[in-house]
Structure 1
Amino acid sequence: MMKLFIYLFGIVLLFGSCEDKKKASQTETEIENEIKPEKEIKIKPEKENPQNYPEITNENVVQFLTEYGEKNPETKVLISSSFGDIEIELYKDTPLHRANFIYLVKQHYFDETFFHRVVPNFIIQAGNSDLVSTQKKRAELGKEYLLPSEIIPGRVHEYGTVSGAKEYRENPDNRTAPYEFFIFLGPKTSTTHLNGNYTIFGKVTKGMDVVEEISKVKADDGDWPLNNIYISAKVLE
């Protein structure tokens, strides 16, 4: 009888042990499943403009550039090319153009664009290219916006002045195309159609010898250099 009791007691202990192990194993599995979900869910972030800035439009351009200009007061920019460096000083009395130029430089818009138009004894123009990357940058920063003119009475195009290119179509207010600029080197006699129609927002302070050299390269019938003249830009101060 004692042997039978010990045998039955052993069976109870055995089943109890198995049940405890089963419960422990089940508990561990439940905890593991709670910590490590069966499928990890990844949320794809929405595409954002560089540094989370909004796309610039004709509706927000003045407010955006006014606020940006207050926080980014720099006035000196270095334009680099295979021909050498050109230093530009931006005028404070054309605040929207200054802020726009600094913004584009800091967003690396000008990097890998070209001096895409050269006219000896007149101008060299930059800020465009035939690369897909340039159009992509414009689409991200603001494809349609124009800058309100900031034409200063009495300010005329002179050797080394920097002006904004202009959108001709339906543009009675002489609004500036934001992505392109030109450096003037022609005589004052050739400024009749420029003065009072294009915003002059800076001047070359160093590197006009480079400008002269670039202006003399061979170009096609549309004034586009036969060999692309890549540029990059950075803020000096």
Structure 2
Amino acid sequence: MKRNLFILLIILTGSFAACRSGQKKKEKMENKKEVMVKIETSMGDIMVKLYDETPKHRDNFIKLVEEGTYEGTLFHRVIKDFMIQAGDPESKGAPKGKMLGSGDVGYTIPAEFVYPKYFHKKGALAAARQGDDANPKKESSGCQFYIVTGKVYSDSTLLGMEQQMNQGKLTSAFNALAQKHMKEIYKMRKANDQNALYDLQEKLYAEAEAEAAKQPDFHFTPEQVKAYTTVGGTPHLDNQYTVFGEVVQGMDVVDKIQQVKTDRGDRPEEDVKIIKVSVIE
């Protein structure tokens, strides 16, 4: 009997310890602070917070900050009412007039779209990347990033964008089907068989409509509408580039940077330099 009670005590103690351990982990997660990063530039300081929901981008950004990768780099691409871009290692000490934007750290980061929660509102911190043709998985640059400035949109403009995106579903579905029949299409063109081409087009269009109908219509969320009609942003970039943080202080500095005079390659005529970047404990 005593032996059974002893075993039961061990089991209960173990369960209690496991519960305590689980509670501690839960408390630790709840008390975890968002990572804050200070970007000191030649035009002022910008404070950004990094999202925990994009851990690969967060951890990579912290790694590069701690390695000093960004110190001495430039905001090499600045487009008013759009964004300011930085992080090209080749921009360090780059002579005036040199084209920048192709530098990297030898790797890319898998896309981490947390959409529609995080989108391209003004102040969003996002990862640059190569275009879809060379980068169909939309993987991010290992080092280059941009901060959204954007512009304010009207409700009617956003409605028009919704309609365009929904129409785009049909176009994408049709193009995908046409690609599968490309050999057949080339053969018909070569034979100048217009009737066969028309019949195939009608057939593929009907299939594309059926495929597009399976997908839900696109609509901006109330949060997106509010942001894009008040503070502004770049809605056409949503769900295409990874948003992994946002500016929490120093947006006035970002606005100053976007106002600088640039050359034909969108590089500021007077260098806007990142002096120091540090993780705030």
With structure 1 as the length reference, what TM-score do the two structures score? 0.62
Counterpart for residue 250 of structure 2: 207
Counterpart mapping for 1:1-237 below 5 A: 75-128=35-88, 130-131=90-91, 143-154=105-116, 155-168=118-131, 169-187=133-151, 189=153, 191-231=234-274, 232-237=276-281
Q: How many residues align?
A: 158
> 1:160 and 1:131 mapped to 2: Cα distance?
23
The structure in which a higher percent of residues are helix is 2
Q: Kindly tell me: are residues 87 and 177 of structure 1, through their superposed partners in 2, closer, same or farther at Cα, counting changes over 3 Å? A: same
Q: Kindly tell me: are residues 143 and 207 of structure 1, through their superposed partners in 2, closer, same or farther at Cα, counting changes over 3 Å? A: closer
> 1:131 and 1:156 mapped to 2: Cα distance?
28
Q: SS where residue 109 of structure 2 aligns?
A: coil
Gaps of 5+ in 1: 1-72, 135-141
Q: What does the per-residue CA deviation read over 1:181-219, in whole Å, with 9 as the maximum and x for residues that have no partner?
A: 100011265634310100000000000000000000010
Q: SS where residue 268 of structure 2 aligns?
A: coil
* Residue 130 of structure 1, CA deviation: 4.4
Q: SS where residue 127 of structure 2 aligns?
A: strand
* Residue 113 of structure 1, CA deviation: 0.3
**Would the aligned equivalents of 1:89 and 1:203 in 2 still touch at CA under 8 Å?**
yes
* Residue 74 of structure 1, CA deviation: 6.7
* Residue 153 of structure 1, CA deviation: 2.2
Structure with bigger gyration radius: 1
Q: Kindly tell me: are residues 175 and 224 of structure 1, through their superposed partners in 2, closer, same or farther at Cα, counting changes over 3 Å? A: same
Q: SS where residue 152 of structure 1 aligns?
A: coil
* Residue 143 of structure 1, CA deviation: 3.6
**Would the aligned equivalents of 1:158 and 1:187 in 2 still touch at CA under 8 Å?**
no
> 1:82 and 1:177 mapped to 2: Cα distance?
24
Q: CA RMSD in A?
A: 2.1
Matched to 1:160, the amino acid is G
Q: Kindly tell me: are residues 131 and 211 of structure 1, through their superposed partners in 2, closer, same or farther at Cα, counting changes over 3 Å? A: closer
Q: Kindly tell me: are residues 93 and 188 of structure 1, through their superposed partners in 2, closer, same or farther at Cα, counting changes over 3 Å? A: farther
**Would the aligned equivalents of 2:49 and 2:248 in 1 still touch at CA under 8 Å?**
yes
With structure 2 as the length reference, what TM-score do the two structures score? 0.53
> 1:209 and 1:132 mapped to 2: Cα distance?
24
> 1:84 and 1:227 mapped to 2: Cα distance?
15
Q: Kindly tell me: are residues 151 and 233 of structure 1, through their superposed partners in 2, closer, same or farther at Cα, counting changes over 3 Å? A: same
Q: What does the per-residue CA deviation read over 1:84-132, in whole Å, with 9 as the maximum and x for residues that have no partner?
A: 1000000000000000000000000000001111111110111125456
* Residue 230 of structure 1, CA deviation: 1.1
Gaps of 5+ in 2: 1-32, 95-103, 154-232
